[in-house]
Amino acid sequence: MRAVLTWKETCAEKCVYDLAFKPDGSQLIVAAGLRVLVYDAADGNLIQPLKGHKDIVYCVAYAKDGKRFASGSADKSIIIWTSKLEGILKYIHNDSIQCVAYNPVTHQLASCSSGDFGLWSPEQKSVNKHKVSSKITCCGWTNDGQYLALGMMNGVVSIRNKNGEEKVKIERPGGSSSPIWSIAWNPSKDEHNDILAVADWGQKLSFYQLSGNQSNKGKTLTYDPCCVSYFSKGEYIVMGGSDRQASLYTKDGVLLGTIGEQNAWVSTCRVKPDSNFVVLGCQDGTIVCYQLIFSTVHGLYKDRYAYRENMTDVIVQHLITEQKARIKCHELVKKIAIYRNRLAIQLPEKIHIYELESDDTSDMHYRSKERIYRKFECNLLVVCSQHIIVCQEKRLQCLSFTGSKEKEWVMESLIRYIKVIGGPPAREGLLVGLKNGAILKIFVDNPLPITLLKLSASVRCLDMSASRNKLAVVDEQNTLLVYDINSKELLFQEPNANSVAWNTQCEDMLCFSGNGYLNIKASNFPVHQQKMKGFVVGYNGSKIFCLHVYSMSAVDVPQSAPMYQYLERKMFKEAYQIACLGVTDSDWRDLATEALEGLDFDTAKKAFIRIRDLRYLELINSIEERKKRGENDNELFLADVCAYQGKFHEAAKLYKHTGHESRALSMYTDLRMFDYAKEFVGATDPKSSRILMTKQADWAKSSKEPRAAAEMYLSAGEHLKAIDIIGEHGWADMLIDIARKLDKAEREPLAKCAFHFKRLKHHGYASETYSKMGDLKALVHLHVETRHWEEAFSLVEKHPQFKYDVFVPYAQWLAENDRFEEAQKAFHKAGRQNEAVKVLEQLTHNAVVENRFNDAGYYYWMLSMQCLDIVRENEEQRDEMLKKFERFQHLAELYHVYRSIQRYTPQGSKHCNTDGRSVWTEGETVEK
């Protein structure tokens, strides 16, 4: 903590008794002498003295709403003033007024004198007064305005309600020998109980709860306190008194330091609302304003940040998980250092060393390890695994955890910066920057420093890259310089930098802050900027740790900008390393796509795995398999990639360039992009055009557009497929048109047409088609199948070789229709003598059985003639057939004669068997 004098004024009235700030902090009201003085709080200029009192003004107070303030005087009067500095009301007590206080909620005014206190509010016509047994020296309302505490000369604290009734009486051990001189309620809203700070002239600072119980043992002072005042949030207390100085304490009474020494007693002090400004009033008439500057005491190691809070506590924060651990030191924390599992805290009289309870990276439990009971005046403090490094201007001392000095280094200039850069336990390396621009590396087990660089300007900030090959320096001119440690070469420099940090996971990335911007630089690419308050202290992966005022935050920065910078240079592996630090899914896709187009399949595969794109992973796997089989045409691989990406025209060009036009054609047709396919094929390649048309027709067929498919098949010369579709749908007109256009040599498609005509019962079209083909046999079969016997007979007359094909089925058809005689003739014409004989035999048998003897004689005659025909055709059966001829002639004559006998035989019917024997039909037997 450091106090900076803002302004100082001296009153002619000599003693300043009380101060009060306007709630907005713009004005300061001063009780001094016979007047109330109004000052500009910003610069200490007197705005206006207010006259109205006839004796010394002892106290002033401002209402919380800022509309009015009150002053109390030894003349026993209270004057109410407006914010426009006009007196509007005056009332009196029986004794001199000692203190006044406005209720923060109801704006009720409490005015206290030596023998009583009064409660007044604007809506009341009179003041309610209450007698007390001792002189009231100070008073104060609770934050909720429900209770009023009165501090008395006899050492008693009386707590009253808004009506003035006493609710709690705190009788303190010192009694009247410890008169209470100042009290104040803690304004913090975080406290569970109302806490009252009581300062007495028994040189004691005590703390009480509203119930009257003491909250802690209190603190013994070395002076008589005259005033006590809380900061707006209740975290600190300012006190002054007979020691002629104002001091800063924690809310628990731990002394933190001196604000300012004066030449007289500090009679009053106030903290400017919501600020770090403190105004003191002294008995010699001095009014002085200080600004308190609380320096940041902190330490950072990777994602663990340790910092001081409320001057006496240490908070260790895990910047990734946001976990926090609090270590209460109960003393002023002067320095903090953190490294790996070690934490060192410097207190006024000792250094306390802590360690983590476990090796778990997320563990936040620290335990005490060692204490070094020595008072150190040091500028910087560093902790290693087994040592403490204390920096005292030019001197570095290495101490063991027991406090023994092991090594010492004396530099040629003041040490401005020191950082542990890692290493084995007890052999860690330190990076040290000096005011004269020298940069050194020191190992804790080596007495000799190593000079790395010598700059012309003082070093402000340092960091070394993860591989220890590059050094980043920010000098006092706010210039960032990056060097190659081995060659000492300046790699690049950037202006407007106040701090720098290398990425702990990426060798070529660093960030620096300055002028309200965060700058990220990868390799030698241009800087990427974004607005940021504070300055960077660490860079781990995609998180940048920034300190703004007193708070540390982890800024999650997507590494998109540097990744795209690498992609522009086709540095895919480096871009992948950056992406691993943290980029969006769309950035991963861009990386994967760029790497794929750049034929870096390994990087592309890893990137696509990140976003789980199985489609592209299948493509990459297929390309890898092809490469294993010996394929090495990168243009062909790129064509496949373009096709997957939807860049079909580019893919087609690449396919064509590599001599794989068929792949381009397949791509277009698979995508049903037939117009593009036709354009690609052009008119110079009829074969490809036909293939294309066929595929288009296939698609039309599968899309249930049969007519379009048939037309496309015809255009492609695929007549058979077209005919099948047309035939299936029964489009006879379209089918005959095709048949008539086909050449007679195209027998298969013509046969298909005829088949469908037959199936569709268009026999005329079928006949026309067979005739065109010259397929007489098929034509004969068609006539036979359709029972067009005349056309069949006409054809047989011209082409006798088909008589068998016509007459046999004709005879069978006649027989099936009981036209046996015609059937027998047909068989005979067909040369099927045996069938003809069988038919005649059957006819003869039927005629005999039915007593048609005339018919039977005729049939036997025909049988005899048939036997002669067989003899003419087959000489081998001559003898057999001639015998049958004679027999059948005999039977024919016999039945012809028998017919006449039958006609004249009225009695019983008898007939001859087919062998010529007589049989009586009524059972009468005749000689045979």
Range scoring the smallest mean pLDDT among 219-233, 529-543, 629-643, 722-736: 722-736
The band of 918, judged by pLDDT with boundaries at 50, 70 and 90, is very low
Q: Is 706 exposed, middle or buried (0-12, 13-18, 19+ CB in 10 A)?
A: middle
What was the pLDDT predicted at 77? 96
Q: What tokens were used for 131?
A: 């007698």
Owner of token pair 């008995």: 283
Beta bridge partners of 328: 313
Residue 782 tokens, joined:
């068609």
Per-residue pLDDT at 643: 82
Which residue's structure tokens are 């600190």? 236
Tokens 């049958």 correspond to what residue?
Answer: 884
Beta strand residue intervals within 63-155, DSSP E: 68-73, 77-82, 87-92, 97-102, 109-113, 116-120, 128-131, 136-141, 147-152
Q: What is the pLDDT of residue 921?
A: 36
* pLDDT on residue 197: 96
What are 211-259's pLDDT values in tens digits? 999 988 889 999 999 999 999 889 999 999 999 999 999 999 999 999 9
Q: How far is CA 138 from CA 21, 134, 237, 873, in A?
A: 17, 12, 17, 159
Mean pLDDT of the chain: 83
Contact 158, 152 (CB under 8 A): yes
pLDDT at site 716: 57
Averaged pLDDT for residues 148-163: 95
Q: Which of 46-55, 625-634, 886-895 has the lowest mean pLDDT?
A: 886-895
Q: Which of 370, 421, 372 is nearest to 397 (CA)?
A: 372
HEC-encoded secondary structure of 264-328: CCEEEEEECCCCCEEEEEECCCEEEEEEEECCCCEEEECCEEEEEECCCEEEEEECCCCCEEEEE
Percent with pLDDT over 90 in the chain:
52
Asked whether the predicted pLDDT for residue 563 surpasses 60, the reply is yes
Q: pLDDT class for 732, splitting at 50, 70, 90?
A: confident
* Mean of pLDDT values over 33-58: 94
Report the pLDDT value the prediction gives residue 842, as an integer from 0 to 100: 61
Contact 365, 343 (CB under 8 A): no
| Span 574-588, pLDDT tens digits | 999 889 888 889 999
> Which of the pair, 557 or 873, is modelled with greater confidence?
557
Q: Closest Cα to residue 300, out of 420, 386, 433, 389?
A: 420
**What is the pTM assigned to this prediction?**
0.64
Among 89, 98, 94, 51, smallest CA distance to 70 is for 89
Instruction: Note the pLDDT of residue 445.
Output: 93
Over 60: is that where the pLDDT of 657 sits?
yes
Confidence at 448, pLDDT banded by 50, 70, 90: very high
Where is average pLDDT lowest: 227-236, 515-524, 703-712, 756-765?
Answer: 703-712
**Residue entry with tokens 């390890």:** 369
Looking at residue 145, its pLDDT comes to: 93
